[in-house]
Amino acid sequence: MTSTEFTTAEGATTFVPAPATPYQGDIARYWNNEARPVNLRLGDVDGLYHHHYGIGDIDHASLGDPEDSEYEKKLIAELHRLESAQAEVLLDHLGTIEPGDTLMDAGCGRGGSMVMAHQRFGSKVEGVTLSAKQAEFANRRAAEIGIDDHVRARVCNMLDTPFETGQMAGSWNNESSMYVDLHDLFAEHSRVLAVGGRYVTITGCWNPRYGQPSKWVSQINAHFECNIHSRREYLRAMADNRLVPQAVVDLTAATLPYWELRATSSLVTGIEEAFIESYKDGSFQYLLIAADRV
């Protein structure tokens, strides 16, 4: 495997695997350069850094008066609470995980979900991301909180991981499956999962009932340089790869309050309207799918 140079936060030179395709090189660059306040300021609330969205009802009592000088700080804490609630729901669907088990986070970002998984189950968590900067960030956080013996991120293509066949008791994609071909993705999950292991994804997908990807879905694709799949494609690619859905949960209504609150904040990025309008017109869905490896 060829490698490429990466300069760490401390200025040291290190080598990471070269991207498998020019597209993956673009995505690695995208996440190496990402530093949006909407992600960093939320992560600073309690040290869990997420790159996914939130679910659940707004706690208006905790937000208080919008005229209050502390309101923006409370709003950031509330958005973060909803993003962590999303990760909790994903972990709920992994089923029973023992401390001796190993889990795989495919597309782990800055590692917030990995930390939560280890804290809940006591298990090992192996994360993969295309971004050396994200992997370094996630590993630094794990070391800071003293769990780097259990939680590790590495620069690696989720379609071609170094893990052993059947090694994982569970695996997931939290808003990271829109960057890859789903047949290739589920073939790799199916390979690394033990028979009886559980796979979970939370994802945005276009709704076949709408007909084709709407203009809002196209806008989201352009914004993130990703390729949102349809709900039908998820189910078909799982069926083709020995992943049998046990739960399909439509989280669209549960994520709308997050977006509507975020749209009123100072941390808006410009993509809020596309999410809100596509969720409302039915062209886009926020979905959780939990599947058994059979």
Ligand X SMILES: C[S@@+](CC[C@H](N)C(=O)[O-])C[C@H]1O[C@@H](n2cnc3c(N)ncnc32)[C@H](O)[C@@H]1O
192 binds, among Mg ion, ligand GPP, ligand X, none (CB under 5 to 8 A by kind): none
Specify the length of the chain in residues.
294
Q: Mask: binding to ligand GPP, 254-283, rule CB under 6 A, as x and -? A: ---------------x-x------------
The answer to whether residues 231 and 206 touch, using CB atoms and an 8 Å cutoff, is yes
Residue 10: partners with Cβ closer than 8 Å, 6 or more residues away: none
Pick the binder of ligand X from 27, 38, 237, 291 (CB under 6 A). Answer: 27
Distance CA 83, CA 87 (A): 7
Distance CA 89, CA 118 (A): 15
**Shortest approach of ligand X to residue 28 CB, angstroms?**
7
252 binds, among ligand GPP, Mg ion, ligand X, none (CB under 5 to 8 A by kind): none
**Shortest approach of ligand X to residue 38 CB, angstroms?**
12
Query: What residues between 142 and 201 interact with ligand X by CB under 6 A?
Result: 157-159, 174-176, 179-180
Residue with Cβ nearer ligand X (63 or 89): 89
Query: What residues between 85 and 144 interact with ligand X by CB under 6 A?
Result: 107-109, 112-113, 128-131, 134
**Shortest approach of ligand GPP to residue 228 CB, angstroms?**
5
Distances (CA, A) of 112 to 39, 246, 264: 11, 25, 25
Residue with Cβ nearer ligand GPP (266 or 269): 269
**Shortest approach of ligand X to residue 293 CB, angstroms?**
20
Distance CA 128, CA 31 (A): 13
174 scored as a contact of Mg ion (CB under 5 A): no
**Shortest approach of Mg ion to residue 39 CB, angstroms?**
4
219 binds, among ligand X, ligand GPP, Mg ion, none (CB under 5 to 8 A by kind): none
279 scored as a contact of ligand X (CB under 6 A): no
Pick the binder of ligand GPP from 89, 224, 242, 265 (CB under 6 A). Answer: 224
Distances (CA, A) of 234 to 36, 38, 176, 178, 221: 29, 29, 13, 10, 17
Residues of the shown chain interacting with ligand X in the complex, contacts defined by CB under 6 A: 24, 27, 31, 50-52, 107-109, 112-113, 128-131, 134, 157-159, 174-176, 179-180
Residues of the shown chain interacting with Mg ion in the complex, contacts defined by CB under 5 A: 39
